[in-house]
Amino acid sequence: MKKIEDLEREIHNLKSLVLVRENAFFEKKLVSLRGIGKLSVSEDELEEAIEKAKKSLFAGVEDAVRD
């Protein structure tokens, strides 16, 4: 009986650990929109938006440098 209780406790601890890690990974960050407002987004969403903005901003740079 004690082994089953130990296993149940260990499973509960592992579930708690996984939930804590998931919450830390998907934690929303407060991002200022240059005085217009503020928005809460996850780090992944922020990284994706930054990459899209870079691609959009520098889309014609290679062509301009070659000419």
pLDDT digits (tens, 9 = 90+) for 7-63: 888 888 877 777 666 655 566 667 677 777 777 777 777 788 888 888 877 766 655
Looking at 1-67, which runs of residues are DSSP E strands?
28-32, 38-42
Number of domain units in the chain:
1
The first and second tokens of residue 31, run together, are 């991002």
> pTM higher than 0.75, yes or no?
no
- Tokens representing 1 are 């009986």
Q: Which domain holds residue 55?
A: 2-66
**What pLDDT does residue 20 have?**
64
- CA gyration radius, the chain: 22
Q: Of 4, 42, 1, which is closest to residue 25 (Cα–Cα)?
A: 42
Furthest C-alpha separation in the chain: 78
Question: According to the model, what pLDDT value does residue 54 have?
Answer: 80
